[in-house]
Amino acid sequence: MKILTGSELLKKVYIKLQERYKPEIIKLDPAEDSEIANDSDLHRTRIGYMSYNELALFDGHKKVVMSLGTKTGAYPGEQFLDDLIAVNFNPKLKDKELEKSLRKSIRCGTYFKNTLFFVLQDGLIGATENKTAGRIILEDVTKKINQYLFREPKYNKEVLSLSDLSPVNTSPALYKSGLVDLLVKKIEDYVLIGFPEQIELFSGGV
């Protein structure tokens, strides 16, 4: 039984979806950023981002682009490590026009509008409070999480983070590898295939 961190889990889900569906890959150079936190004032700029280096175009029943993001920028948002986004795309657009549209979708997807799941510093997997596809999936998966959670995160309550005064994480959450297949199946059901009653994904740049 392989044990995974939250970041490793998200990466394996993304890779397994690519292996199964063989999406077209668009490399982003330079990477595209989406703002996730801002602590700027009149005297300095402090912005945290998620940055994306590639896009995977799933051109099936639904036209969906997915990508793994990594936290970059200044300290705001340092409680986040990675995220997995999913955005609708317009299949009529090609090449540079498609890339331009998708870059705009990423920029417009500030504060996790595009995000299915994000990974926190303590290794926990989360989603936004809005009724997004990611939120629906996590609410479903949470019912079975005890089967897949190998270790809960641990904290030192005597040591506080300088950024938000929260207890410092000493041991991140760890997951059993079986959770990869469950998340892949849920993403297929709710995002790539989609039940009729499910919400549409954000598509700010389309």
d(CA 86, CA 102): 11
Average confidence score pLDDT of the chain: 89
Cβ neighbours around 43 below 10 Å, total: 5
For 41-58, what is each residue's pLDDT tens digit?
A: 888 889 999 999 999 999
Domain ranges of the chain: 3-193
Model pLDDT, residue 205: 46
Most confident region among 111-120, 157-166, 167-176 by mean pLDDT: 111-120
CB-CB contact of 48 with 73 (8 Å): yes
Model pLDDT, residue 138: 92
Is residue 198 very low, low, confident or very high in pLDDT (cuts 50, 70, 90)?
very low
